[in-house]
Chains A and B, each alone.
Chain A
Amino acid sequence: MSDEAQVEEAPREGGAPVARRREAGGWKAARWVRRAVQIVALVFFIYLLFAALQRRAAFPYADFFFRLDPLAALGTMLAARQWLPHLALAVVTAGAALVAGRVWCGWICPLGTLLGWFRFRAALQAATRVPPRLRSVKYVLLVVIVVMAALGSMTLLVLDPIALLTRGFTTSLIPGFDYVVGAVESTLVGWGPGSGVVTWVEAHFRGTVLPVYQPHYAQGAAIFLACLFIVLLNVLAERFWCRYLCPLGALLGLIAKVQALRPLVGDGCSGCNACVRACRAGAIEGIPPGAGGGGEAAGARVVTSECTMCLDCLVACPEREALSFGLALKPGPWAAYDPGRRQFLAAAAIGVGTVALLGTSVARAVKAPGLIRPPGARDEGAFLSRCLRCSECMKVCPTSGLQPSLGQGGLEAIWTPVLASRLGYCDYSCTACGHVCPSGAIPKLDLDTKRKQVLGVAVIDRNRCLPWASSTPCIVCQEMCPISNKAIVLSDRHLITRPDGTKDYLARPEVVPKRCIGCGICEYKCPLEGTSAIVVLPTNPSLAVGGAPGNSTSPEG
């Protein structure tokens, strides 16, 4: 280690600039380990995003980061009033916080890692200008979320950092990436050697890194701007989101109040504040000499609930004995900005009020508010109390038919998945959404069971349908219907009179509601421009009850 020993300049403020030797090499190595772990975790997160991109069979751990997420676990289990073993891995993260505080934030969280890379020069100066009391916002959000979950509402889980990042990638970054690739390819394909490059790229990357079809998502741009806003907040302070807003960070921070292993300020501290300046989380408070009024020496203290265990302070400390890493059983300090009882109560009141407000939405006044949910998610209330709004299902959907909802289900259902059949249908040979759903809001179904799930029922608009409205031959919907004995049949051939006076027979499609599962391929494929002449509506109990008895149950894929 001696060759790595550091000669660090003593701080400019306070005391004469004397060079002191300190062996920071060990902490430097540990910090490299932390950086490596961060990169590995981020790469793994991105790998999982692509492993569950427009697939019918996704990597089984596609939701791995959600399983580690205690906020997702706590929120879902509270709202669903059920112990969900699938999310039990979150205990590991919570346990890690008991041992070593917010290691999740500093070492694992992919959003934290990314935000850590967006450092703005101005941020360093501005950090002090952000009022420290803002740090309590994250606790207020956490309490609001937990209270709402306890009352059955998952709406504010949209703020879960893993859901937030997944949603950003799903609805904007991955579609944007594919669009750029497609645009470059379209330019290259018309130019001699370029078409070879395109062929090679398509052969090697289409269906893995590149989605099979260009995805399009409602509100993709708006969600991107929301993500961009979170990045731009970094101008005000480093990792602004993590310091002031992140409800998962708040949850782990509360646990970290009693974390066992933590940076400890020892007697050798000269109050040089090198650690205070190095701390990216702003978790260390410098103590001026005589702060206690009794002429004590200068020092520093680490607010464990804010510390992300990044180890930068240990590298920065120029004293041999001043800052170390060790076991402490006393709870960490309660900072001036930490929330008090009144704030907790106010937050709880906000939670109750929000649930009440959301509950008065008109969407609740209608029996089926026009939402076609993913296969198996039939009970709207139960679905809303389980869905994390993470958009994993939208990303894996091979047709990108699952879209983030905005107004259809009221504000309480924002960014939950709805099947927009005109944009993409529910593939008859696919069960992927239920297999990537972290919370089980969409049930895991085998193919045979999934094929019997009734999502809605198709209805033909005879005022627009080509053979009905203009006697133009067309049976695309019947042709596409995947039910083996067809839920769309061609009715007896109708004798029609053409505009030129000639008579002809014409086949016209009709829906057999009992057989229809509402997969929406008919609506998707209808050749009319704009609105389809056949649309899937939420199931009408008078039309289809308890599944489609005429369905094929053939086992092939």
Chain B
Amino acid sequence: MEPLKRSQFLKLVALGGAGLAILGGPERALAALARADNDLDTAALDGDPAAAVAAGTILAVARGTSAGTNARKAIAAIGGMRKFVSAGDVVVIKPNIGHPRAPKYAVTTNPSVVATLVRLARQAGAKHVVVMDNPVSSDPANCYGASGIAAAVKSAGGSMHVMGSSGYKSYAIPGHLLKTHPLYAAIVNADVLINVPIAKQHGSTGLTLAGKNMMGTTSDRGRMHTLGLSQSIAEINAKLRPELTVIDATRILVRNGPSGGSLDDVRVKNTLIACRDWVAADTYATRLFGMKPAAVPSIKAAARMDLGTMDLSSLTIRTV
């Protein structure tokens, strides 16, 4: 008997696979096909054509009523998830889950945005996709649940992680202020860190955006407050250097932030910003509040440390 040619072998495998799929039940086979159709969004994984030819750093602004779709469009517009996540990577996604509030209050990151990023990171080949935050006004289980993020992440195949006190280590921090500071080791050691804040008003820093969201990686916020908050925020970002920043502005909180709790203070913007440069993303996001970037001192401090640019004209801004 002559050996199988490779093409014949592949056909056999395909037939066998189809047979197994049918044995496994037509519904399941169909569902698998449907999943592949819907979910393997090649543009969001590999980038859309325009992203391939754009010069320099791209800042994508996606608009639309579906937050999940906005996330896919924005990621496609900046070059696709595979540009950030390689096969076998451990990916940490850091939303803002600081308070136990339902998504409608615009206090925590939109769950569909987080779930979409989890799904894309997994499809890009990530070994583990872990979502975590160190909530401020209640315990993690409460905040993870109330924000809707726990359920969304689970259905997207990611896992929620509770940041226990033993997981923090003291790290050397670039800059002149903190010198050393405790950060969560699993976040520092992640292959890819995706920062997914929600845009909202905040008393101490003007707004809380991507830079401020990284405060959820430390166990000692008090020291940052007393030493100088804006510079501290810039410095821990200089250590953490997130690979990708996605700012959720589906609904934004314009007053009584960051903990909110009243729908009167919420505005619907149906907007999502994605960029590898968080300083640029934060700079752009201030526009949604009709504010100048200079009103958020942590952005200025970060630009001074060369962590990114406040000069939006140096970027390619793509509205999708």
A-side residues, CB < 8 A to B, are: 54, 56, 182, 185-186, 189-190, 195, 198-199, 202-203, 206-207, 210, 212-214, 398-399, 427-430, 466, 472-476, 478-486, 490, 507, 521, 525, 527-528, 552, 554, 556-557
**A56 CB contacts on chain B under 8 angstroms:** 138-139, 142
B161 within 8 A of A: yes
Q: How far is the CB of B168 from chain A (nearest CB, A)?
A: 9
A481 to B145, CA, bound (A): 21
Tell whether A527 pairs with B225 under 8 Å between CB atoms, given A186-B166, A556-B146.
yes
Contact at B142–A213, with CB atoms within 8 Å? no
Q: How far is the CB of A29 from chain B (nearest CB, A)?
A: 45
Chain B interface residue count, Cβ-Cβ cutoff 8 angstroms: 43
B100 within 8 A of A: yes
A190 to B186, CA, bound (A): 11
Residues 152 to 201 of chain B near chain A (Cβ within 8 Å):
159, 161-162, 164-167, 169, 185-186
Contact at A527–B226, with CB atoms within 8 Å? yes
Most buried by B among A190, A214, A485: A485
Contact at B203–A478, with CB atoms within 8 Å? yes
A466 to B226, CA, bound (A): 8
**B169 CB contacts on chain A under 8 angstroms:** 189-190
**B186 CB contacts on chain A under 8 angstroms:** 199
**B265 CB contacts on chain A under 8 angstroms:** 484
Q: How far is the CB of A10 from chain B (nearest CB, A)?
A: 61
Q: Which of A182, A525, A527 contacts B165 (CB 8 A)?
A: A182
Q: How far is the CB of B33 from chain A (nearest CB, A)?
A: 33
Contact at B261–A484, with CB atoms within 8 Å? yes
Contact at A485–B256, with CB atoms within 8 Å? yes
Contact at A484–B260, with CB atoms within 8 Å? yes
Total of A-B residue pairs, C-beta within 8 Å: 122
**A213 CB contacts on chain B under 8 angstroms:** 139, 165
B65 within 8 A of A: no
Tell whether A206 pairs with B162 under 8 Å between CB atoms, given A189-B169, A429-B100.
yes
CB pairs A–B below 8 angstroms (22 shown): A54-B139, A56-B139, A185-B166, A186-B166, A190-B169, A195-B185, A202-B161, A202-B167, A428-B100, A428-B137, A430-B142, A473-B204, A474-B226, A475-B204, A476-B222, A478-B203, A527-B226, A554-B105, A554-B263, A556-B104, A556-B105, A557-B146
Q: Which of B101, B165, B229, B256 contacts A486 (CB 8 A)?
A: B256
Q: How far is the CB of B261 from chain A (nearest CB, A)?
A: 3
**A476 CB contacts on chain B under 8 angstroms:** 204, 222, 225
10 interchain residue pairs of minimum CB distance: A484-B261, A527-B222, A185-B166, A556-B102, A484-B262, A475-B203, A527-B225, A429-B100, A552-B261, A212-B139
Contact at A490–B203, with CB atoms within 8 Å? yes
**B139 CB contacts on chain A under 8 angstroms:** 54, 56, 207, 212-213, 398-399, 427
> Can you name the residue of chain A whose Cβ is closest to the Cβ of B103?
A556
**A399 CB contacts on chain B under 8 angstroms:** 139
**B257 CB contacts on chain A under 8 angstroms:** 479
Tell whether A479 pairs with B261 under 8 Å between CB atoms, given A185-B166, A202-B167.
no
A427 to B137, CA, bound (A): 7
**B99 CB contacts on chain A under 8 angstroms:** 482
B140 within 8 A of A: yes
Q: How far is the CB of B239 from chain A (nearest CB, A)?
A: 18
**A484 CB contacts on chain B under 8 angstroms:** 256, 260-262, 265
Most buried by A among B139, B169, B260: B139
With A474-B225, A476-B204, A557-B142 known, 7 other A-B pairs at CB within 8 A are A189-B166, A213-B165, A479-B202, A527-B225, A528-B226, A556-B105, A557-B102
Per-position contact with A for B290-308: 1 when CB-CB < 8 Å, else 0?
Answer: 0000000000000000000
Contact at A554–B166, with CB atoms within 8 Å? no
**A472 CB contacts on chain B under 8 angstroms:** 226
Q: How far is the CB of A227 from chain B (nearest CB, A)?
A: 26
A88 to B224, CA, bound (A): 53
**B142 CB contacts on chain A under 8 angstroms:** 56, 398, 427, 429-430, 557
Contact at B203–A479, with CB atoms within 8 Å? yes
B259 within 8 A of A: yes
B136 within 8 A of A: yes
Tell whether A212 pairs with B162 under 8 Å between CB atoms, given A398-B142, A479-B202, A557-B102.
yes
**A186 CB contacts on chain B under 8 angstroms:** 166
Contact at B262–A485, with CB atoms within 8 Å? yes
> Can you name the residue of chain A whose Cβ is closest to the Cβ of B222?
A527
Most buried by A among B100, B138, B257: B138
B221 within 8 A of A: yes
Contact at B138–A430, with CB atoms within 8 Å? yes
Contact at B185–A189, with CB atoms within 8 Å? yes
Contact at A202–B221, with CB atoms within 8 Å? no
Contact at B166–A483, with CB atoms within 8 Å? no
Q: How far is the CB of B265 from chain A (nearest CB, A)?
A: 8
Contact at A474–B261, with CB atoms within 8 Å? no
A484 to B259, CA, bound (A): 7
Contact at A521–B137, with CB atoms within 8 Å? yes
B258 within 8 A of A: yes
Contact at B164–A202, with CB atoms within 8 Å? yes
B141 within 8 A of A: yes
Tell whether A482 pairs with B225 under 8 Å between CB atoms, given A474-B204, A552-B262.
no
Q: Which of B136, B159, B165, B261 contacts A214 (CB 8 A)?
A: B165
A330 to B91, CA, bound (A): 76
Tell whether A527 pairs with B137 under 8 Å between CB atoms, given A485-B262, A490-B203.
no
Q: How far is the CB of B141 from chain A (nearest CB, A)?
A: 5
Contact at A189–B203, with CB atoms within 8 Å? no
> Can you name the residue of chain A whose Cβ is closest to the Cβ of B166?
A185
Q: How far is the CB of B103 from chain A (nearest CB, A)?
A: 9
Contact at A206–B164, with CB atoms within 8 Å? yes
Q: Which of A207, A466, A479, A490 contacts B259 (CB 8 A)?
A: A479
Q: How far is the CB of B142 from chain A (nearest CB, A)?
A: 6
**B226 CB contacts on chain A under 8 angstroms:** 466, 472, 474, 527-528
A413 to B37, CA, bound (A): 67
**A207 CB contacts on chain B under 8 angstroms:** 139-141, 162
